[in-house]
Amino acid sequence: MKAFGHSRASSLTDDNALIEIQAPTPEPQPHDVIVEIAAVSINPVDTKLRQSALPTSDAVRILGYDACGTVVATGGNVSKFRSGDRVFYAGSAIRPGSNAEYQAVDERIIAHAPKTLNVSEAAALPLTAITAWELLFDRLRVPLNNQFTDDTILIIGGAGGVGSILIQLARRLTGLRVVATASRPETIAWCEKMGAHHIIDHTRPLSQELKRLGIPHVRYVASLTQTAQHRDEILQVLAPQGALALIDDPGSFDIMPFKRKSLSVHWEFMFTRPIFETPDMSAQGHILSQVASLVDAGLIQTTLYHLNGAITLQNLLKAHALQESGKSIGKTVLTGF
């Protein structure tokens, strides 16, 4: 089968930053389904692994952590899916990825794709939807379906992939007032489309921007980018006994100043469950099923923004470059071979 990956840590200016290979079509393990890939989307983890992570052997690491496609084979213990089912998922960071014609994926972390979306629209959602859901309900422990609250969540980086779906989940499934950050006309418009109550400029002091709205403090902060840069402002705007959740990788992050306010700090990494095969690993399949139902009910919309053509080496390189530029909005999707 055709597949794309990397054989060494590299920047996009290096020769063979990504390469095309012919790989064996995977065989299913007992809990696996084999999916014929129809569409994939790009996430920061794709570029981070390409830049810094060496394959575990001389073989090429196949990248890609979002997909929508059709089940073509199943392992002996699979009970929820059968050949012909259209599914979507984010996969696992320690298994071959979705930038290939076929992929083996554990049935516990996949779901039937939304019926009302095409494959490109569906492929935009899984990794960021799981991340946003886990951050909001598992890490910050925001009450689900509680519409009676005066609390506020500040989402730093509202126009990115995770921010785009986090805004929607917070608006539709909680009573929180949702404040997102954005600084360009196109990202502001995108956050408005996703449903943020208010949008503030993260190039200015967050505390001043919130005070302009009459919001002195917030109960929750979801920091999706540049957390270290915003640390002091996050500390200032969080109410005593508030909570911060972050998904990025600050080089250093001193949380001792958070003690005086008894603030809690939570990391969200959506691959934790599949990497460690935690007892609640199947929660990710359930999350995706709920997201699909919300989409089909018209409550959640796809976060597809850039449709980048077919799944080719050239288009993958372009998508990685866009992701690394810091200018991407929503999700970038490639469709078909």
Read off the pLDDT of residues 156-213 as tens digits, 9 standing for 90 and up: 999 999 999 999 999 999 999 999 999 999 999 999 999 999 999 999 999 999 999 9
Burial class (CB within 10 angstroms; exposed 0-12, middle 13-18, buried 19+) of 51: middle
Residues of each domain in the chain carrying CATH 3.90.180.10? 2-127+271-335
Cβ atoms within 10 Å, residue 331: 28
Which positions of the chain have pLDDT values less than 50?
A: none
Residue 179 identity (one-letter amino acid)? V
CA distances from 41 to 32, 89, 135, 195 (A): 21, 11, 20, 22
Question: 274 near 301, Cβ under 8 Å?
Answer: no
Per-position b or e across 222-257, b if 16+ CB within 10 A of its CB: bbbbebbebbebbbebbeeebbbbbbbeeeeeeeee
**CATH match of 140-267 with 3.40.50.720:** yes
The tokens describing 61, both together, are 């690491």
Copy the structure tokens of residue 204: 């200015």
Closest CA to 306 of 280, 290, 327: 327
Q: Are the beta carbons of 75 and 31 closer than 8 angstroms?
A: yes
Q: Distance (Å, rounded) from C-alpha 316 to C-alpha 284? A: 26
Count of beta carbons in the 10 Å neighbourhood of residue 128: 27
Kindly provide the b/e burial profile for residues 158-176, where b requires at least 16 CB atoms within 10 angstroms of the residue's own CB. bbbbbbbbbbbbbbebbeb
- The segment(s) of the chain belonging to CATH 3.40.50.720 are 140-267
What is the strand order of the sheet 19-22 is part of?
Answer: 19-22, 2-6, 61-62
pTM of the model: 0.95
Query: What does each C-alpha distance from 318 to 43, 55, 336 come to in angstroms?
Result: 13, 22, 16
* Check whether domain 2-127+271-335 has CATH 3.90.180.10, yes or no: yes
Q: Which of 219, 249, 212 is nearest to 234 (CA)?
A: 219
Helix (H, G, I), strand (E, B) or coil at 249: coil
- Residue 191 Cα distances to 101, 186, 200, angstroms: 34, 9, 10
Integer Cα distance of 269 and 277 in angstroms:
14
